[in-house]
């Protein structure tokens, strides 16, 4: 009865199954290898439309196949961070109302205040300031400095020269409104030639006036290793042992979600970054964050808005939904960018170029440096990235005098958010050693396309040969 009913119903399924089986057996004429080849042919035709040759495509596929175990590790990391972010949103009680915004003064902006709780939970800090009024990463860093230092204090960088745009903030290059103008001095201890910390030099540089120590996690426009969170932790312990009340700030740009812990979990009093990099997940159209000790964050809020007003004002307008959704996507977007960087490192290494990090070493930010050795190489690379973009693919990037940088810089970016470097982008100063800094990619397939196109450009222009 019941059995026969079921059997009756299955009659139809049987025929369908037979059809499928006969279809399968006809294609069984192809061996596994042949089917694999067929799939590659179809894909390589897609790449051909972008001017990528069969040879470059195959070169990419061989490299890609060898990276499976590393990519699996990155996915696992993204999974961990995805759960961290969801849990932070749940604990903070994110509701639909949080996605709306305020105008005017922005008093009692529920979404803004809740988002700041979410950031504090993600970075495991007491508080956070996450605002569209923080215009970029440099602004967030300048804000952290200018609000937490007072005339007579000294700022110390124990990891060498900071990011280019900070030279004017600090006053290394004279500039209006710099820390130097306010009587805040600066000291720097370079990394040792092997990339390690110069502990003796650092000990000697910490003095009475030292108030804030700034540590840049990412290499920025330098050929030096990026610091792992655990290395940063070692440095912080060392510094705090010498001077317990010194504040430590980490420039966290490009580092967020690359590991499962953040520098704020190893003793940093503040972590600072840009929302048009990792934590904005490609969706935030503007913004920066400072997460850290309540007092540090309060100081920053008083400087960003006004003494007395602090965090109470600052309308979020319409950006909160993008801030939340971007943070939600950030772990997997960062993972895509990391895979792109590793793919690029391995391809360029095989072609004989110096790459930092190298193809196999562990990653602590999403930046990949490739030393191309000539202005032509840098331009060919950047043009390849640009030509693969969803936006402005027809534009040819040219080197220009960019504000805040001391040599000409070429930049490739066909981004939905102008200047966003969590989106696929590349830039390089036109100066020796002619290195290009490549980063981002909201999806791995896009990063892969851009990298293959850059390789194709170099091959077509005779700058290098496929081995």
Ligand X SMILES: *Cc1c(COP(=O)(O)O)cnc(C)c1O
Which residues contact ligand X by CB under 6 A? 136-138, 141, 163, 165, 216, 218, 220, 251, 253-254, 274
Token pair belonging to 216: 């840049």
Task: Using the minimum distance from each CB to ligand X, give the nearer residue, 141 or 143.
Answer: 141
Least CB distance from residue 253 to ligand X, whole Å? 3
Within 10 Å of residue 275's Cβ, how many Cβ atoms?
32
Task: Using the minimum distance from each CB to ligand X, give the nearer residue, 251 or 262.
Answer: 251
275 within 8 A of 286, measured Cβ to Cβ: yes
264 within 8 A of 125, measured Cβ to Cβ: yes
Least CB distance from residue 13 to ligand X, whole Å? 57
Task: Using the minimum distance from each CB to ligand X, give the nearer residue, 202 or 286.
Answer: 286
Task: Using the minimum distance from each CB to ligand X, give the nearer residue, 120 or 249.
Answer: 249
Least CB distance from residue 299 to ligand X, whole Å? 20
Task: Using the minimum distance from each CB to ligand X, give the nearer residue, 88 or 129.
Answer: 129
Token pair belonging to 80: 């961990």
Least CB distance from residue 39 to ligand X, whole Å? 38
Task: Using the minimum distance from each CB to ligand X, give the nearer residue, 222 or 457.
Answer: 222
Q: How many CA atoms lie within 13 A of 235 on its CB side?
A: 30
Within 10 Å of residue 109's Cβ, how many Cβ atoms?
24
> Among candidates 285, 223, 282, which has minimal Cα distance to 257?
282
Least CB distance from residue 296 to ligand X, whole Å? 18
Give the CA radius of gyration of the chain: 25
Collect all residues with Cβ–Cβ distance below 8 Å to 45 and sequence separation of at least 6: none
Residue, CB closest to ligand X:
137
Between CA 344 and CA 384 the distance in angstroms is: 13
Between CA 215 and CA 236 the distance in angstroms is: 9
Token pair belonging to 91: 């604990």
Task: Using the minimum distance from each CB to ligand X, give the nearer residue, 373 or 404.
Answer: 404
Least CB distance from residue 149 to ligand X, whole Å? 17
Least CB distance from residue 333 to ligand X, whole Å? 16
244 within 8 A of 214, measured Cβ to Cβ: no
């Amino acid at each position: 009865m019941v059995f026969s009913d079921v059997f009756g119903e299955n009659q139809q399924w049987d025929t369908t199954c037979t059809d499928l089986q006969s279809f399968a057996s006809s294609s069984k004429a192809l061996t596994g290898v042949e089917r694999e080849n067929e799939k590659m042919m179809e894909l390589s035709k897609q790449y051909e439309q972008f001017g990528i040759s069969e040879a470059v495509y195959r070169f990419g596929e061989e490299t890609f196949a060898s990276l499976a175990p590393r990519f699996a590790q990155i996915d696992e990391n993204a999974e961990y961070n995805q759960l961290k972010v969801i849990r932070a949103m749940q604990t903070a009680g994110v509701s639909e109302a949080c996605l709306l915004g305020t105008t005017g003064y922005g008093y009692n902006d529920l979404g803004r205040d809740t988002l700041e709780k979410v950031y504090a939970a993600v970075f495991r800090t007491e508080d956070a300031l996450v605002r569209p009024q923080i215009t970029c990463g440099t602004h967030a860093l300048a804000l952290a400095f200018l609000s937490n230092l007072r005339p007579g204090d000294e700022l110390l960088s124990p990891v060498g020269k900071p990011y280019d745009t900070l030279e004017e903030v600090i006053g290394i290059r004279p500039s209006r409104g710099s820390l130097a103008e306010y009587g805040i001095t600066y000291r720097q201890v370079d990394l040792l030639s092997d990339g390690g910390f110069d502990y003796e030099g650092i000990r000697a540089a910490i003095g009475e006036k030292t108030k804030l120590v700034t540590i840049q996690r990412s290499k920025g426009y330098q050929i030096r290793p990026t610091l792992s969170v655990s290395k940063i932790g070692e440095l912080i312990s060392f510094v705090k042992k010498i001077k317990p009340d010194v504040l430590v700030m980490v420039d966290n740009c490009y580092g967020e979600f690359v590991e499962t812990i953040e520098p704020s979990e190893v003793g940093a009093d503040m972590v600072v970054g840009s929302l048009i990099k990792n934590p904005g997940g490609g969706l935030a159209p503007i913004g920066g964050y400072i997460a850290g000790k309540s007092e540090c964050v309060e100081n920053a809020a008083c400087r960003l808005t006004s003494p007395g007003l602090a965090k109470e004002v600052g309308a979020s307008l319409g950006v909160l939904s993008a801030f939340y959704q971007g943070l939600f996507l950030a772990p997997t977007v960062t993972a895509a960018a990391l895979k792109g960087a590793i793919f690029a490192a391995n391809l360029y290494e095989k072609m004989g170029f110096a790459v930092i990090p190298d193809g196999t070493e562990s990653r602590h930010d999403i930046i990949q440096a490739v030393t191309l050795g000539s202005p032509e190489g840098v331009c060919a690379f950047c043009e390849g990235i640009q030509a693969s973009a969803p936006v402005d693919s027809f534009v040819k990037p040219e080197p220009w005098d960019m504000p805040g940088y001391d040599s000409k810089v070429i930049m490739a970016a066909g981004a939905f958010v102008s200047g966003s470097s969590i989106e696929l982008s590349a830039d390089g100063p036109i100066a020796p050693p002619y290195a290009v800094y490549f980063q981002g990619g909201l999806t791995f397939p896009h990063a892969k396309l851009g990298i293959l196109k850059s390789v194709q450009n170099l091959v077509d222009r005779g700058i290098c040969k496929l081995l």
